A and B are shown apart, each in its own frame.
Chain A
């Protein structure tokens, strides 16, 4: 074979949220380039133009079926600024935080159970038909049961704060539209000990896995990179709802730190590439070639100086103690990071439930109208930025969104290339192992693509191998 070949991975059975991977091979069968094509979010920024500012936090939830609450809160934070509010009432901020912790918790638990646990319990080597949620329930019914109840707990918190489990209306510009009844509070408090115990058990499972597979993880699709997240002003603690931007390099040195989130565009530039709808942000001071970075649970574990809840704080220290590098780079170590965040969320939820401010009645503040506003939040999958301009008629004239998958875009492409290099180069035919490894690499970033929400081995994939004349020379299909 002497012609360059293109290997295509194309999830075909989902209309929304499909991604496509093309791996470009050279004449020797080595990987030339690997690209992840994403069509998600196309057109949304235009769709929102002309809409009225208070509709935006509700409308943006339709943007993504995976974490609507993050978009809801992020847009509300941007709109707070537009209605001139820099400080919410304690009740409003705490209700929003409760909603957010509930969302991160349920999202992480879902991810753990459906996507991580099959790897953790059965390993990559096990046959695809074993690596799924049904097999977990069969072999470990108690774990399955707990995951369902933990997820339900998080969803009920969303419902109690936003009015509905999905697509609620809780956050409004300048505040929140409800407080928490003591009845609901007591229901949640009654279960919180159990949630904490289960969260700690899940953390132990993820931790054991990451330690056991440390060598494999170190070699798997992970390379040192820069990391960004919000951190709390002052002490640099983990803060999922609010804070300033911090970017660290791979050695843990600050590239920028404690930057007001509304100034994100002074530090980041979004590169456009011809073949992708999704932009490629990079750090201005480093430039487009090397200025890529990662966001997400592991990024947060790297950027945060500390965690302000005791159990998660201990787990955070424990995580860093397990590595002799300043920062942790394995994409699969996100499993561990995610479970530390679940513990943190449970602790935060308990703290909030015990706070009488949640029963306060001062819900909304008003301020002097501004024309521009940025909101930033740490969504389950990482940093999320919403930026709007609104005219004097209250209509949106400009919208820019950077979702966590966009932040991770370059890193994901590099991981795919890395995996492709190790597993594909020189292969004449498409093997199941080849597909698995590319799939795992995509999924390890937990992109907000609906194709990526299928368990390993379940992602609908079409793989096609072309020669340099675009003639199909091999193809393979995987259906969920």
Chain B
């Protein structure tokens, strides 16, 4: 244990952290899962979705951006927090058009998996907005079905920070804020199938589609077919 490290607790379990680590990083290192959608290993933190919200010594904080601190008392798996997280996830569903049974991300989708973990059930408490959104299939190898985009920004950070390209960006404001491509359509960007931004790890849902791969993984072998997201040390 390095001299600088300190301890704090998550749901009563003592966790060791080093200065600069976020609550989530320390939790991951300790094998404790905190739900998340916009945060993913290898990309800088954004703190956008709020699904990772915890109580840190009584105050709500996004675990993916909030630094750990000595003697912090963190609540994570509480009914109150999970109910709030469930409402957030439900709103993400209702803001887009999610037809899981016909979606190629089904079984590999973090949003769907989070809904299962948080036990989201119908009937929903929020109305569906049923937006009218286009499919951009102009690129030979990649398609975007923005009906399923949850604006997590992971593709934006991956493209800008890892690929050095800036293919994706936010447009619009408020409820209308959306992720769009930096060009008239995807074919008019320099997006490439080998970009990190279009790899399977980046888009948590079925918005960024690698063409002609859909449904090739049989049911039973998909990422979340055998357990809840976050279980079995799954803390990417």
Chain A interface residues toward B at CB < 8 A: 50-52, 54-55, 57-59, 62, 83, 162-164, 167-170, 172-173, 177-178, 364, 393-395
Chain B interface residues toward A at CB < 8 A: 101-102, 104, 135, 137-138, 143, 145, 209, 211-212, 214-220
Contacts of A58 in B (CB 8 A): 101-102, 104, 215
**A54's contact among B138, B214, B219, by CB below 8 Å, is which?**
B214
Flag if B137 contacts A169 (CB, 8 Å).
Answer: no
Contacts of B143 in A (CB 8 A): 52, 393-394
Known: A52-B211, A55-B104, A58-B102. A169 touches B218 (CB 8 A): yes
In the complex, what's the smallest C-beta–C-beta distance from B157 to chain A, in angstroms? 26
Docked pose: A170 CA to B216 CA in angstroms: 8
Docked pose: A364 CA to B216 CA in angstroms: 9
Flag if B216 contacts A55 (CB, 8 Å).
Answer: no
Flag if B218 contacts A163 (CB, 8 Å).
Answer: yes
Docked pose: A318 CA to B99 CA in angstroms: 49
Docked pose: A476 CA to B209 CA in angstroms: 54
Contacts of B211 in A (CB 8 A): 52, 394
Known contacts A52-B214, A364-B216, A394-B212, then 9 further A-B pairs from the complex at CB < 8 Å, ordered by chain A residue? A52-B135, A52-B143, A52-B209, A54-B214, A55-B104, A55-B214, A62-B102, A169-B215, A178-B220
Contacts of A395 in B (CB 8 A): 135, 137
Contacts of A51 in B (CB 8 A): 135
Docked pose: A394 CA to B137 CA in angstroms: 7
Listed A/B pairs (9) with beta-carbon separation below 8 Å? A52-B209, A54-B214, A58-B101, A58-B104, A58-B215, A172-B216, A177-B215, A177-B217, A394-B137
Docked pose: A223 CA to B217 CA in angstroms: 49
Contacts of B214 in A (CB 8 A): 52, 54-55, 172
Contacts of B138 in A (CB 8 A): 393
Flag if A50 contacts B135 (CB, 8 Å).
Answer: yes
Contacts of A394 in B (CB 8 A): 137, 143, 211-212
In the complex, what's the smallest C-beta–C-beta distance from B132 to chain A, in angstroms? 12
**A55's contact among B102, B219, B220, by CB below 8 Å, is which?**
B102
Q: Which of A62, A172, A364 has the most CB of B within 10 A?
A: A172
In the complex, what's the smallest C-beta–C-beta distance from A452 to chain B, in angstroms? 24
Docked pose: A55 CA to B103 CA in angstroms: 8
Shortest beta-carbon contacts, A-B, top 7: A163-B219, A178-B218, A393-B137, A54-B214, A177-B218, A169-B215, A59-B102
Flag if B219 contacts A172 (CB, 8 Å).
Answer: no
Contacts of A62 in B (CB 8 A): 101-102
Docked pose: A129 CA to B101 CA in angstroms: 38
Docked pose: A392 CA to B147 CA in angstroms: 21
Contacts of A163 in B (CB 8 A): 218-220
In the complex, what's the smallest C-beta–C-beta distance from A63 to chain B, in angstroms? 11
Known: A58-B102, A163-B220. A172 touches B135 (CB 8 A): no
In the complex, what's the smallest C-beta–C-beta distance from B143 to chain A, in angstroms? 6
Docked pose: A51 CA to B220 CA in angstroms: 25
**A172's contact among B137, B145, B215, B220, by CB below 8 Å, is which?**
B215
Docked pose: A356 CA to B211 CA in angstroms: 32
Contacts of A178 in B (CB 8 A): 218, 220
Docked pose: A57 CA to B215 CA in angstroms: 10
Closest to B214 in A: A54
